[in-house]
Structure formats: C-alpha cells, structure tokens
Amino acid sequence: MSTVLITGANRGIGLEFVKQYARDGWKVHACCRNPDKASELNTVQGDVFIHALDVTDHAAIVSLASDLAEPIDILVVNAGVGGRGEGDFGDYNYDVWKSVLDVNVYGSVATAEAFAPHVKNAKGKIAFISSKMGSIGDASGGAIAYRTSKTALNMAGKVVAAALAGEGVAVSIFHPGWVETDMGGPNALIKPDESVKGLRALIDQSPVTPSPRLLAYDGAEIPW
Ligand code: NDP
C-alpha cells in the first residue's frame, strides 16, 4: 500500500487530495490545524489518519515526523494562506506579510525538511503547492504578501529539489489553477477535483531533478 501525507487537509485542495487518494486505496495522513472542526474530513471513507498540525509550529512538525516512523511515498505540501489585510503600497501591513511568509514559506519548507527522511525511505516525491501569482513574469501588481511568499516558495522548492535529488527524491512545484475553494472564491475557473486529478498525474510523473520547472495542474509550464 502506498502512503501520502497532506497538509491543510481539512478543506479546499488539500481535502480533495485526501478524498482522491483515499478512494484509490492509499493510506492517507491528513494534517490540519483543528481535527475536531474538520467535519468533512472526518467523513472521508478509507485508510485516513487525521493529525493536528499547524505548520507554523515547528516543534509540532518535528514531533509528528518522529511519531510517524514509516516511509511516505508522496508528501503534498499544500497548506497556505492568502494575504488578507496585507494592504496596498503606502499602507502595507508588515505583521500580515510576516504571517503569510510564516505559513507559505517557512511552514512549507519545515514540513518538507522534517518528512524528507520518510520520503527518502520510500524513494518518494514531494509536491509543493505554490501559485503562478509567485511568478515574477506573471506579476501584475498588488497582493505583495501572497505573491512574495509564493515566489520565495518557488525558490525554496528548487533549493530543496537540489538537496534531495542525490537521494532519489523527486521534488516538484505546482500552480493548481484558479480553483473554487475558500481561497479561490466562487468565480474560479475549475473545481478542486479537476485540479487535483491533474496534479496527481503530474506528481506521478515528476522526475528526480535538481532543477524542477513550475507547472500548472494541466502540465503547462509557467515562467518563474
Ligand atoms: P483554502 O483557503 O481553501 O485552504 C487552505 C488550507 O490551508 C486550509 O486547510 C487551512 O486550514 C490550511 N492552513 C492555513 N494556515 C495553516 C497553518 N498555519 N497550518 C496548517 N494548515 C494551514 O485554500 P486552497 O485549498 O485553495 O489552497 C491550497 C493551496 O493552493 C494553498 O497553498 C494556496 O496558496 C494554493 N493555491 C490555491 C489557488 C486557488 O485558486 N484556490 C490558486 C493558486 C494556489 P484552516 O482551515 O485551519 O485555516
């Protein structure tokens, strides 16, 4: 049986990853901040183990990694926040900016770092869920906290890929599309099932390389 661990698993894209892998018979470690409030996650049928994890709590990440002494075939680093309240130029809110970096960059890298030994044991794969809003080529202004967090995540993902390529671990970095979730909103272009179906296919094919590309859920390459 294959094993996957997903962060931010209680709603949105993370929850859809849980549903699809569980449906396909995987063992799923579903991590979320408040398992007691994760009503939909708690109803997912299958081999699903729910863990409390706030990715800004470094000690909690390390502790969970120590508790789960088993190979992990796929690690989906998905938890993320938008930049609500970040402000506009002339009125930036630096506390909000730092909190966005804390989740999207440091939380993501700390998760990958803590679970890298488990993924190495499986010769597995790590997928960072980033955004094309972090692409410098895409930037059209605004959203400074969110955009810079994903730009930094893209670079961090490449650094992690280079660190793990020699160990046989494939690290990939994805834009999930504009997806109808709490973050993506009601006008989004695709539903979570389409995004995650595409992402899973790409994760399966992801190569061991020190230099991954930024790919959208449909395989389109996005400029850094
Ligand atoms: P949602 O807002 O629907 O879900 C975000 C998830 O991240 C929730 O499970 C949330 O948990 C979790 N999360 C937030 N902060 C933390 C934290 N500190 N520790 C652990 N979990 C946390 O967003 P999406 O599902 O749409 O987004 C998933 C990923 O996809 C994100 O990284 C996002 O940036 C990216 N993305 C999404 C796009 C879209 O159109 N939807 C487009 C491009 C990228 P909680 O319920 O506790 O807040």
Q: Which two tokens mark 34?
A: 């408040």
The mean of the pLDDT values for the chain is 97
Q: What is the pLDDT of residue 105?
A: 98
Q: Provide the percentage of residues in the chain whose pLDDT is more than 90.
A: 97
Is the distance from the beta carbon of residue 108 to the nearest atom of ligand 1 less than 6 Å? Answer: no
Q: What is the pLDDT of residue 140?
A: 80
Q: What is the pLDDT of residue 55?
A: 98
Q: Which two tokens mark 153?
A: 């995540």
**Cα–Cα distance for residue pair 214/157, rounded to 1 Å:** 10
**Cα–Cα distance for residue pair 201/204, rounded to 1 Å:** 5
Average pLDDT over residues 174-183: 98
**Cα–Cα distance for residue pair 103/57, rounded to 1 Å:** 9
Closest C-alpha residue for ligand 1 atom 30: 129
Over the stretch 48-59, which tens digit does the pLDDT of each residue have? 999 999 999 999
pLDDT band of residue 139 (cuts 50, 70, 90) is: confident
Superfamily of domain 3-222: NAD(P)-binding Rossmann-like Domain (3.40.50.720)
Closest C-alpha residue for ligand 1 atom 9: 8
Closest C-alpha residue for ligand 1 atom 42: 178
Determine the atom of ligand 1 nearest the C-alpha atom of 53.
Answer: 20
Q: What is the pLDDT of residue 223?
A: 96
Over the stretch 70-127, which tens digit does the pLDDT of each residue have? 999 999 999 999 999 999 999 999 999 999 999 999 999 999 999 999 999 999 999 9
| Reported ipTM exceeds the 0.95 cut | yes
Residue 179: pLDDT over 90: yes
CA 202 vs CA 74, 136, 171, 176, 220: distances in Å = 12, 23, 11, 11, 11
Q: Where are the domains of the chain?
A: 3-222
Residue 138: pLDDT over 90: no
Residue 209: pLDDT over 80: yes
**Cα–Cα distance for residue pair 100/94, rounded to 1 Å:** 10
Q: Provide the percentage of residues in the chain whose pLDDT is more than 70.
A: 100
Q: Which two tokens mark 139?
A: 């930037």
Over the stretch 60-84, which tens digit does the pLDDT of each residue have? 999 999 999 999 999 999 999 999 9
Determine the atom of ligand 1 nearest the C-alpha atom of 177.
Answer: 42
Q: What is the pLDDT of residue 154?
A: 98
Residue 146: pLDDT over 90: yes
